[in-house]
A and B are shown apart, each in its own frame.
Chain A
């Protein structure tokens, strides 16, 4: 079909081309015909023109000859009347025309001449054919003056008798004066030729310029390359018959009209040529103008074609662009439709999943609540049921949190809370959460930190934490029991001095993912579905949240996975390095300039070196105890020795206690020895009992290292955690709680009563303000404030309380307890004057910790 169309197009093009060629041929033909016609007419006109000019010259010469003859007749009459004709001859004074007169009496052969010499007819050749006004005229000859002449013979008659002959010699030069000073703009060439002798006897002045062919007819032929025999014969015939002849012949490459024009019946001839262009000047101009017009028309035509062509091309381009645009648009529409369909499907599926997932724990809650009501008297069952209800509730909560997160991220409401954090804290908190999870599944959790040059960084720690926990908890979830999980933080080459470029890798040797699933892993509302993963609970939103958060931070995440081999998530992040973070002062103040790292892998040592270099502390490394001992000895000799020894517990080549003791042999007991060990380290207590030893968890961080040193210097004991536990008790405290929901209020009251604390509950903000205002100073330890309440909301109530003119109005801790769980809500709460923000549902432990923290502060 397409082929046929192309063929049609080509046929159309060829026929168009043929039409154009045809039009051009017709145009060319017409122009040629017109031009040719003009040329022919011009040529005829030129011949006519030249003929007339030559006729004019001929008539002039003939007139002169006739006048000469007539005058000669008068002279003859005068001589006839004269008594002494010889005297008449002698007395003649020559002029420019008649240069000599002579007389021969009848019957004599010799006569007299005006020059004084005897005169005979010798040398003069008269022919009966050559007559001027009936008088005989001689052939031309070179006269005594060195100029071409002719002689006219006139009988002198007296009383009807010839008594003598009068000979008058005329020069051709005299004709020159009567001829035009040139014709056809002096481009015409003209000679006067004696027909009998074929000698050129006069070239009138101004009749062209030339350098040859001025001698005779043969010379003329030679000079002008007139070699055609036929033509020459024709010329000869014309000369014999006294006819005129005009023919075209090139003279030195120029087309010329040559002429032989008979004068006086052919006794003399006008011979010469005129370049045709000299006669047809206007013809040439006309032809040139025709050509110009044709050229202009052609140019105009081509211009039109060109404009048409460009226009067409433009149109085609626009059309094509429009088509492409339309195609793109259609494709986009199709894609959008497909995406919408997929999204719709996803959402449908999600809703169905969620419906299932929500119903499942809800079913548990309701079911167990029913059972609880039934078995209320059996404390063991009650405990068991409440534990299960609690677990189902927690699961429901995480589900809701995820949904909220996704909707927030998608609507662009997420605001990053960029603050300074340390990688140490990050890793510690992640480790603290993941390690127990992994442990519970008998999985090995490996934490590796390498190549980091700055551990204090700027970023939203909470969000990074969220991402890491998400990835790691997934790894734990999707890795069978006894598997491995690697968590690596790798420092990359910095792209800018202000930014630390880190790569976070989470790897497992778990189930892995199919390539198809990998394509949609970061899409919301999707989740891997197979028989294995179905065993694992999840919202299907975690990865979407993770990706969105990372992109929000300007980072990237990619994943590679193979079924049954495991998965590797790789996150690239660039975190700004806070200014002046290198805390050299601490190390200088504590006179720590050189430490020794013993054992461990090369990367670990290099990492320690890199980190410590930033704070100006030199790190020497020894991969065995022996090597460490040698270094210690050498170092103590040359300098002040090592201020701290770091020992990698996991790679020690001998028993820990032994190793520390050996080290102690070469250095002072005051030098602290810190054991660098994993979180799951065991059997370390014996070593820690040795003096001046401590435990530092891997991976190595300067901040942790510093804290440990401070801790060891201060001699803080191992009981601090227990004290903290004690500090969190709410016993004997009294709170003001603003809560409009009765159930929530009841729950709160119950929780507090469990903790041996009590509270006064009001239904709205207004009542809370009034209640606080009426109370005695110090009556309440803190105010627990709901936000969304009738009459007056929590924010306004807080502001009102803070404005009260009482001593404790500004100081009393106000804790927001609300279902508004977003960061903006927290911000608003703090802005309103609240001290802290707790999201509902209330985590009792969290509540206790927060209350304890602020109330202590109050104390």
Chain B
């Protein structure tokens, strides 16, 4: 017993002595040799790819899951190809500023960057201007779903490839609907009725809106039949050759919006100057507003509408064909005169590869553009996902239409918010269609 205790004491003393020895040795190390060059040259990365995107490069995993998902795919490309992707970003300070899309157009037209993350309208414009590279030759492009390809082909060229198929829907506070015994609305009439009930119950503005996403109501009502009536190509052809008018499709949606504005279900003035989510998000999360519109990814954890304190469901926009998701196609495009064109193409090939999309889709729980990648969505998104699986949706943008839909509709809706009448708005559509027909 005694000897054991003695041993322990010796062991302790030995450990302490070794610790002191290690410290002493560490202190003796690293002695500088006189005359030695103390500068170690950093290995310069020769390959640089400039990426124009709405967000800054982030340290993955800190704050924003959506960004870190994209960043992880960027990181993947950087590691695989040995390139450095530099982010160039722009955010409009207010509605009077140039928009992200405006700047994207300027930058692409002046060959400022290599890869651009573009919204559907800019894809359409730049594609038509021939400023975007044909991406159909990329290995990864072969895995894309047909709907994605269709939406992004201009003049026979695949000009953009997205990392996710963005689906917009209505974000509903189910608890508040249950509180007033309201069914989830299928048609515009039902939607208005819901708004009426909410307003009667003291919720003055039942729909939270911003200056960007109100066009989803319009597009859903405008093209519910076109995309789901079984005669899509013929109807688009009729629009492209002027036989039918875009304004005829658009009118019910605008009238619907007008009624909403008139009834005060939407605060038009506030919406006109509000940025996406920033204007309406706080009220929705605080359960002051029962309905907002947003894109699929916003419902996921750690994003704008993740982790609500109430039961949230995401449904399609009300149309006379029932709830309808709206799917615009954003996407990465490569400038045709990009300074680092080949590196940009290689980078994009990695960014939209199945491997990268798997990572992206798993993190963001979105619909992947690749037919080989599929993940389970969160319960709140199930109603929306079910519709998409049933192939019930409206495309927010379609490159095969000669009038760009997503951007133009957005701008014209803003006019409506700013006080223009529905007729004035329709006249704007007619003007755009005529311009398109003329240019052809």
- Report A's interface with B, CB cutoff 8 A: 142-147, 199, 203, 205, 209-212, 214-216, 292, 296, 299-300, 303, 310
Contact check, A146 vs B103: say whether CB atoms are below 8 A apart. yes
Return the chain A residue nearest B6 by Cβ: A310
In the assembled complex, 20 residue pairs joining A and B whose CB atoms fall closer than 8 Å, in A order, are: A142-B90, A142-B97, A142-B106, A143-B106, A144-B106, A145-B109, A146-B104, A146-B107, A146-B108, A146-B110, A146-B112, A147-B106, A147-B107, A199-B93, A209-B56, A210-B56, A211-B58, A214-B89, A299-B19, A310-B9
The 4 nearest A-B residue pairs measured at CB: A146-B106, A146-B107, A146-B103, A145-B110
Which of A211, A292, A300, A310 interacts with B16 by CB under 8 Å? Answer: A300
Known contacts A211-B62, A211-B67; is-contact A216 B93 (Cβ 8 Å) = yes
Contact check, B93 vs A215: say whether CB atoms are below 8 A apart. yes
Within 8 A of A (CB), among B107-158: 107-110, 112
Q: How far is the CA of A300 from the CA of B16 in the complex (A)?
A: 8
Contact check, A145 vs B107: say whether CB atoms are below 8 A apart. yes
Shortest Cβ gap from A97 to chain B (Å):
14
Q: How far is the CA of A212 from the CA of B54 in the complex (A)?
A: 11
Shortest Cβ gap from A12 to chain B (Å):
26
Shortest Cβ gap from A292 to chain B (Å):
7
Contact check, B90 vs A146: say whether CB atoms are below 8 A apart. yes
Chain B residues near A210: list those with CB within 8 A: 56, 58
Contact check, B106 vs A212: say whether CB atoms are below 8 A apart. no
Contact check, A211 vs B9: say whether CB atoms are below 8 A apart. no
- Report B's interface with A, CB cutoff 8 A: 9, 12-13, 16, 19-20, 23, 55-59, 62-64, 67, 86, 89-91, 93, 97-98, 102-110, 112
Q: How far is the CA of A292 from the CA of B55 in the complex (A)?
A: 43
Q: How far is the CA of A147 from the CA of B106 in the complex (A)?
A: 8
Q: How far is the CA of A486 from the CA of B267 in the complex (A)?
A: 127
Shortest Cβ gap from A111 to chain B (Å):
22
Shortest Cβ gap from A723 to chain B (Å):
78
Contact check, B64 vs A142: say whether CB atoms are below 8 A apart. no
Chain B residues near A205: list those with CB within 8 A: 86
Q: How far is the CA of A211 from the CA of B56 in the complex (A)?
A: 5
Q: How far is the CA of A547 from the CA of B133 in the complex (A)?
A: 123
Return the chain B residue nearest A218 by Cβ: B93
Q: How far is the CA of A199 from the CA of B90 in the complex (A)?
A: 11
Chain B residues near A143: list those with CB within 8 A: 106
| Contacts A209-B57, A303-B16, A310-B9 supplied; 10 other A-B pairs, CB < 8 Å | A142-B106, A145-B106, A145-B110, A147-B112, A205-B86, A209-B59, A211-B63, A215-B91, A299-B19, A300-B16
Contact check, B105 vs A146: say whether CB atoms are below 8 A apart. yes
Chain B residues near A292: list those with CB within 8 A: 23
Most chain B CB within a 10 A radius of its CB, from A211, A215, A303: A211
Most chain A CB within a 10 A radius of its CB, from B12, B20, B108, B110: B110
Return the chain A residue nearest B64 by Cβ: A211
Q: How far is the CA of A368 from the CA of B168 in the complex (A)?
A: 150
Q: How far is the CA of A212 from the CA of B55 in the complex (A)?
A: 8
Contact check, B20 vs A296: say whether CB atoms are below 8 A apart. yes
Q: How far is the CA of A216 from the CA of B90 in the complex (A)?
A: 11
Contact check, B16 vs A145: say whether CB atoms are below 8 A apart. no
Shortest Cβ gap from B114 to chain A (Å):
14
Contact check, A212 vs B104: say whether CB atoms are below 8 A apart. no
Return the chain A residue nearest B108 by Cβ: A146
Shortest Cβ gap from A95 to chain B (Å):
13
Contact check, B106 vs A299: say whether CB atoms are below 8 A apart. no
Known contacts A146-B102, A209-B58; is-contact A214 B91 (Cβ 8 Å) = yes
Q: How far is the CA of A216 from the CA of B97 in the complex (A)?
A: 13
Contact check, A296 vs B23: say whether CB atoms are below 8 A apart. yes
Q: How far is the CA of A199 from the CA of B89 in the complex (A)?
A: 13
Shortest Cβ gap from A312 to chain B (Å):
14
Known contacts A145-B106, A211-B63; is-contact A299 B23 (Cβ 8 Å) = no
Chain B residues near A310: list those with CB within 8 A: 9
Q: How far is the CA of A296 from the CA of B105 in the complex (A)?
A: 64
Return the chain A residue nearest B48 by Cβ: A205
Known contacts A146-B107, A146-B112; is-contact A214 B13 (Cβ 8 Å) = no
